[in-house]
Amino acid sequence: MVTYAQDIWRCRYFWMSLVKMDLQNRYRRSVLGIGWSLLNPIAMTTVMCIVFVKVFGQDLREFAPSLMAGLAIWTYVVTSMLNGCQCFFIGEQYIRQYPAPLAIYPLRTALGGTIHFGLALLVVFALAVYAHATAPLPVDVEGPMTEMDELAVNAHATAPAPAVTDAVRAARAKAALFHAGVPGPAALLSLIPAIVLLFLFGWSVALLAGFANVIFKDTQHLAEVGLQIVFYASPIIVPKEVFVKNGLTWILTCNPVVAFLDMIRIPLLEGHVPHPMVFAKAMVTVGILMLASGLMLLRQQKRLIFYL
């Protein structure tokens, strides 16, 4: 394992140049350059905000940054898996000429995806800071009922709630929490291990998907369908409260993507470091995937060229 990592390090200039080349190729002849890669999440967020705020009555200031962060993470997961399926085909000409450690091809995919994710995250951060800065002033949780409170309560309730004061208190507390939640230095620092874990997750997923797609050519199609299912089973566009309210908490506990969503969203939107359990869950997921990748490399690395 150590010698393998050393081999990967030894050809670092090669795969770093591939990553750089992928980025350059994408924006070589375009006007906006790297801006195009941000257009997709921004456009998706705008459209979904219009739908969800106007139609379903979600609070725009909370929803937009949360949605955009979720979409950025989801885009990363999807591109890791789908580009990962192709990574050995894209690198086929190198594989046939030069016996490099095969992990560098999914590494190329994961690094490219992480760079795009990092850029999207900057935009999310800007959006979150703007949302916090323009939020209404801190509210007095125990104060008298106002018209605004009635609107806030009615927007969130599915049926007339008898305990109006409790619901109002909760809505006000949430507003206060949101306003207080400009990310501090500790929260921002906690993003670093979060991004590292996300990168390792993407690398392992790309590696496993790459091997699977070479051995079974229809893996990519199955992955596309599977990812759609996981998308709707994750709190990306649908808030967590909806899952809990409908008794679907077990989906949230079983879904590995939830931990990664929390790790990134909580520091940015609520401004504090996530609970250690979130990190633990992410680390366990990454650990299992890396173990699977290691086993796959051990067994199939030498045989991959016969499948290409």
Q: Which residues bind another protein (CB under 8 A)?
A: 10-11, 13-14, 16-18, 21, 24-25, 28, 93-99, 214-219, 222, 302-303, 305-307
The helix-helix angle for 60-90 and 219-232 (nearest 10°) equals: 170
CB of 14 to another protein, least distance (A): 4
CB of 97 to another protein, least distance (A): 6
CB of 116 to another protein, least distance (A): 18
Alpha carbons 71 and 40: distance in angstroms, whole number = 9
CB of 247 to another protein, least distance (A): 34
CB of 17 to another protein, least distance (A): 5
Alpha carbons 135 and 117: distance in angstroms, whole number = 26
Give 18 or 237: the residue with its C-beta nearer to another protein: 18
E-assigned strand segments in 224-280:
none
Give 18 or 278: the residue with its C-beta nearer to another protein: 18
CB of 84 to another protein, least distance (A): 17
Alpha carbons 65 and 142: distance in angstroms, whole number = 28
Alpha carbons 106 and 85: distance in angstroms, whole number = 9
Handedness of CA 118, 77, 296, 105 (dihedral sign): negative
Please report, for residues 26, 50, 75, 156, the alpha-carbon distance to residue 63 in angstroms, rounded to integers and kept in the order given. 30, 11, 18, 13
Give 64 or 214: the residue with its C-beta nearer to another protein: 214
Give 183 or 210: the residue with its C-beta nearer to another protein: 210
Does residue 45 contact residue 26 with C-beta atoms inside 8 Å?
no
The helix-helix angle for 12-27 and 104-133 (nearest 10°) equals: 50
Give 147 or 218: the residue with its C-beta nearer to another protein: 218
E-assigned strand segments in the chain:
none
Give 25 or 158: the residue with its C-beta nearer to another protein: 25
